[in-house]
Chain A
Amino acid sequence: MNTEIYHIVAEQFKGRITTSDQQVLQEWLDTSADNREVYAELEKVWKLTGTLEQTTPADVDSEWARFVEQRDQVIPLSRRLPGTGLNLKVFYRYAAVLLPLFMVSALVYFMVSGRNGGSDWITLTTGTNRQQLTLSDGTEVWVNRNSVFRYANKFSSRERKVSIKGEAFFKVAKTGSPFLVDAGETQVRVLGTRFNVNNYKEGRLTEVVVEEGKVLFEEKSRTRNSVMLEAGEKGTYLGKRTPISKQADFNNNAASWVNQQLSFDNVPLQQVVQDVARYFAVDLVLAKELENCLFSGEFSNPRVSNVLEVISLSTGSRVRYEGSKIYLEGGSCAN
């Protein structure tokens, strides 16, 4: 018999071959060794197809439960009432799902916010006075005039985060977790170091000067815009889309307001006046011809009148008070 009878072979493999088919198969096998080889190969294929079957039976009870649940969610078309926009049953079902979800997320939120030691943020606003404080991790902070400093009364173990609007000097305690200073559009990331942050100008200008150690100064919304600052370096952020620049900080007076010290070593008067104006928070105007005069001097716990007196003596200029402004006029560098 030459026609292919593989379906009979299949019946044989399934073990339900009829006696008449059995005879046909036997004849076919007896006809040639080729047929017997084909039979052997078919058996192998048949067995192999068995490996495509699933090995783990499903739990019928839970599958039935799942079906019932899905079935009840589907409202048969005939039972859907016309005009009822809100089906209460459906509403309760959604509520049953969403309510626990909402509760869990609320719980998670409180747990996460509780990471800060369950503590609230404390806001310190300085007016005309400077303030010094020690945070829970031992970090010392000096907050300059007219600044807003926010911190948690207990830090989380992962990150210590504070924020400053205005100016502050930090002596960060080394604890191993990063210390993050949020400064408007920028932030400063450090481990343990001393540095000054100044962002009085509401985001547009932020300056960071490092006295000791190393800090990462970066734009918050674009952390690629960042510089690594080391001791004696100053980073300046001028606004979005401007790369943060880095210069050496010559005058060492960034933290002058902390130490109550001003020191100048051959510094152009223009810079001196800037530092003095900042230190005393006064509006100081310098005559143009004096801008590039070099000035040296040290003041400890100074008063504005003393400093101005020394400058006017060394340049032969006059000090004139007019309204809220102070003018330095006349004189020359030669004096």
Chain B
Amino acid sequence: MTSPEFEKFFRDEFNSLSNLAFTVVKDTDEARDVVQQVFLNYWQRRESIEIRGSAKGYFYKAVLNTSINRLKKSRTLTPIEMVQPDKYVEEPVEEDTRMRDHLHRTINDLPPVCQQVFRMSRFTNMTNKEIAEEMDISVKAVEKHITKAMKVLREKLKPLMANNYLMMWLIALFCYFWMNQVGFLLSILSI
């Protein structure tokens, strides 16, 4: 890549790359740092790096690897109790947030290749063929990984979603009875 090409690529892809990093590290600044680091690494070693597939594919994969590594490192370095207070507790813990955390964790727990394939498929505009090239596996294997990821996610999130509906029903039921009760009390008072 020549310098102007490189700059154009940087500008075109920075946001989609940091978006991809964000799905892993869950922090805007850190996501941007990851992308910066990947670009820096590339720049430093640009003479020795040989991109086999597309440049996009190379950077997507590099960003994924770097962010997953960072997440692992921050997990081993900072005890959960230390991280949690400002990252999760301060904002109101809504059902949505809980779901998102659960989802985040579920994806992170997927086997590495499966996780990377799924993220590339879900969060970038890469085709399965491009993913296959980048990961050096067959298109069939990519499809299998995507299917597996979706299956696991559905299974892991189903109880939570069902729970949601159950709660909704309970609340509706409660409201119904409560309103009945109010009507009942009012009828007593009017007598």
Is A63 a contact of B103 with CB atoms below 8 Å?
A: no
CB distance from A33 to the nearest CB of B (A): 16
Partner of B154, one of A45, A63, A77: A45
CB contact under 8 A between A66 and B36, given known A54-B18, A58-B15, A74-B44: yes
* A89 CA to B122 CA, complexed, in Å: 45
User: Quick check: A64 and B7 within 8 Å, CB to CB?
Assistant: yes
Whether, in the assembled complex, B64 has its beta carbon less than 8 Å from a beta carbon of chain A, the answer is no
In contact, A38 and B36 (Cβ under 8 angstroms)? no
Distance (whole angstroms) from the CB of A37 to the closest CB of chain B: 10
**Which of A2-10, A203-211, A248-256, A281-289 lies at the interface?**
A2-10
- CB pair B100–A48 under 8 Å, yes or no, is yes
Asked if B128 contacts A57 (CB within 8 A), the reply is: no
Q: In the bound complex, what is the Cα–Cα distance between A66 and B128 (angstroms)?
A: 33
Residue B60 at the A interface, CB < 8 A?
Answer: no
Quick check: is B133 within 8 A (CB to CB) of the other chain?
no
For the side of the interface on A, what is the size category? 35 or more
Q: Are B146 and A51 in contact (CB under 8 A)?
A: no
Instruction: Report B-chain residues with C-beta under 8 Å of the C-beta of A5.
Output: 147
A51 touches B96 (CB 8 A): yes
Contact pattern, A 170-196, Cβ under 8 Å of B = 1, otherwise 0: 000000000000000000000000000
Q: Does A49 contact B (CB under 8 A)?
A: yes
Which residues of chain A from 21 to 43 have any CB-CB distance to chain B below 8 Å in the complex? 38, 41-42
The reply to whether B150 and A48 contact each other, CB–CB distance below 8 Å, is no
Quick check: B157 and A4 within 8 Å, CB to CB?
no
Q: Is the CB of B157 within 8 A of A60?
A: no
Let me know if A58 and B40 touch, CB within 8 A.
no
From B145, which residue of chain A is reached at the shortest CB distance? A7
Q: Which A residues are in CB contact (< 8 Å) with B62?
A: none
A241 at the interface (CB under 8 A from B): no
Q: Per-residue CB proximity of A42-84 to B under 8 Å, as 1/0?
A: 1011101101111011101001101100110010111000000
Q: Are B14 and A58 in contact (CB under 8 A)?
A: yes
Decide: A58 and B153 in contact? CB cutoff 8 A: no
State the CA gap A62–B85 with chains docked (Å).
31
B19: which of A51, A54, A60, A76 is its contact (CB, 8 Å)? A54
A4 touches B23 (CB 8 A): no
CA distance A52 to B23 in the complex (A): 5
CB distance from B22 to the nearest CB of A (A): 4
Enumerate chain A residues within 8 angstroms of B28, measured Cβ to Cβ: 54, 56, 58
Of B11, B22, B40, B150, most A-chain CB atoms within 10 Å:
B150
**A residues within 8 A CB of B150?**
6-7, 9-10, 42, 45-46
Contact with A along B92-105 (1 / 0, CB 8 A): 00001001100110
With an 8 A cutoff between CB atoms, is B175 at the interface? no
A60 contacts B15, CB within 8 Å?
Answer: yes
Q: How many whole Å from B120's CB to the nearest CB in chain A?
A: 12
Q: In the assembled complex, which residues on chain B have CB atoms less than 8 Å from the CB atom of A60?
A: 10-11, 14-15
- Tell me whether A63 and B161 are in contact in the complex, defined as CB-CB below 8 angstroms, given that A7-B128, A10-B150, A58-B15 are known contacts: no
Which residues of chain A have C-beta atoms less than 8 A from B32's C-beta?
A: 58, 63
A38 contact set on B, CB distance < 8 A: 154
Q: Are B19 and A53 in contact, CB atoms less than 8 angstroms apart?
A: yes
Quick one: which of B40, B123, B146 contacts A6, CB cutoff 8 A? Answer: B146
Docked complex Cα distance between A64 and B146 (Å):
34
Q: Is B72 an interface residue when CB atoms closer than 8 A count as contact?
A: no
Partner of A48, one of B7, B35, B47, B103: B103
Is B14 in contact with A49, judged by CB distance below 8 angstroms?
no
Picked from A10, A52, A63, A71, the residue with its CB within 8 Å of the CB of B146 is A10
Contacts A70-B36, A76-B44; A6 near B10 (Cβ below 8 A)? no
The 10 closest A-B pairs by CB, nearest first: A54-B22, A7-B143, A7-B146, A6-B147, A6-B150, A52-B23, A54-B19, A57-B15, A7-B147, A45-B153
A–B Cβ pairs within 8 angstroms, 25 of them: A4-B147, A7-B147, A11-B128, A41-B158, A42-B150, A46-B122, A46-B150, A48-B103, A48-B157, A51-B100, A52-B123, A54-B18, A54-B28, A54-B31, A58-B14, A58-B15, A58-B18, A58-B32, A60-B10, A60-B14, A63-B35, A63-B36, A67-B39, A70-B36, A71-B43
If A7-B142, A10-B122, A67-B40 are given as contacts, then 7 extra A-B residue pairs at C-beta distance below 8 Å, sorted by A number, are: A4-B151, A42-B154, A48-B100, A49-B107, A51-B103, A60-B15, A67-B36
B interface with A by C-beta (< 8 Å) = 7, 10-11, 14-15, 18-19, 22-23, 26, 28, 31-32, 35-36, 39-40, 43-44, 47, 96, 99-100, 103-104, 107, 121-123, 127-128, 142-144, 146-147, 150-151, 153-154, 157-158, 161
